[in-house]
Amino acid sequence: MAASSSYDGVLLGMGNPLLDISAVVDEAFLTKYDVKLNNAILAEEKHLPMYDELSSKGNVEYIAGGATQNSIRVAQWMLQVPGATSYMGCIGKDKYGEEMKNAAQAAGVTAHYYEDEAAPTGTCAVCVVGGERSLIANLSAANCYKSEHLKKPENWALVEKAKYIYIAGFFLTVSPDSIQLVAEHAAENNKVFLMNLSAPFICEFFRDAQEKVLPYVDYIFGNETEARIFSKVRGWETENVEEIALRISQLPLASGKQKRIAVITQGADPVVVAEDGKVKTFPVILLPKEKLVDTNGAGDAFVGGFLSQLVQGKSIEDSVKAGCYAANVIIQRSGCTYPEKPDFN
C-alpha cells in the first residue's frame, strides 16, 4: 500500500443508508408478505407489519446497510487506510441514525449524513431462507436526500477530493439530480464514475433516470437477473449474459468519456467482464453449501473488493479477484459484515 495521504478520500459513495433488520424466516413468511427470494423491492403498505414481526424473532440482527454504504465499508476494510473512503446519504435523527453514524465511524468511513428532522432512519427487511435473501426496503429518511446537502461546501469538498465515485442504482429513485451533478463533475474532471444496475425494478421502472446517467458511467456493475431485465426492457431479445454485458458496455458515452466496462456477476457462475468489444469471464471462489450463511451483501461486497484494487490502479483481473474474495468472506457471515482484517493478496 502506498502512502496513505495519496489515498485520502479517493473513493466517494452516495446512496440510501438503511439499517438491515435481518432474520431467518420460512417460505410461509415470504408467502404471507408476497415476496420472492433473491429479489430487492421497495416496501408497500402490505409489507409494513413485516418489520415488527422480524424484530420479534429470536434470531434477529441489526446491521448498518444500504447497498452503496456496504460497498464503501468493504472497500475501506480491504484498503486498511483510514479516511480513504467517504459516503453521503440521508438518515433520521433517531437511535437507528446514531447506530448508522457509529457503524460508519467504526468502519473508518468519512460519512457526511444529511439528517432529516421528520422522517425516521430507513430500514431494510432481510428475509433469509436457506442462505438466500429477499430485501424489502422502507426508505423513510433515505428517500429525503436533497442536492442542497451535496452542494454545501463541506460536502462538495468530498466530491472534489474523490477520484472514484460509486453510486448504486437505488439512489436513482431518491435524488437523480445529485447523481447528475456528480456524474458531470466526474466527466469534466477526468474522474472515474461507477454505478450498479442494483435491482430488476430499477431497470424496469426507473429506466428513464437510468438512461440519462448511463452515458457518464465508466463502470457498470450488476448481476445476471438485472442484466436480463435490462435487456428485456430494451427489446434486445437475448438472455445471454455475455452478449448483454457487451451491449451495455457499447451504449453511447458522454463527451470526454473514453469507454465503459460492464461487470456482471452470476452467483456461483463466472463473473462476466465486457471491455473494448471483448468479453472475458473469471471464475468465482466456490463455497460448500454448508458454509453459506446468507447472500445478503454479496453483490455489494464484490463491488467493494473490486473498488479497493481499482483505486490503487490495479488491473481488472486483480479487481475481480478482490471482489470475489470479499463476496466469499461476506456470504460466510450474517449480513454485510467482515472480520477485523482482510486476508487478500
- The residues annotated with a catalytic role in the active site are 300
Q: Report d(CA 342, CA 108) in Å as an integer.
A: 14
Name residue, grid cell 435473501: 133
Dihedrals phi, psi of 115, to nearest 5 degrees: -105, 115
**Which residue in 265, 254, 248 sits closest to 301, CA to CA?**
265
Cβ(33)–Cβ(50) below 8 Å: yes
Q: Report d(CA 95, CA 311) in Å as an integer.
A: 34
Q: Residue 29 is inside which H or E element, if any?
A: helix 27-32
* Non-local CB neighbours of 105 within 8 Å, separated by 6+ positions: 111
- The DSSP output letter for 60 is -
Q: Report d(CA 37, CA 30) in Å as an integer.
A: 8
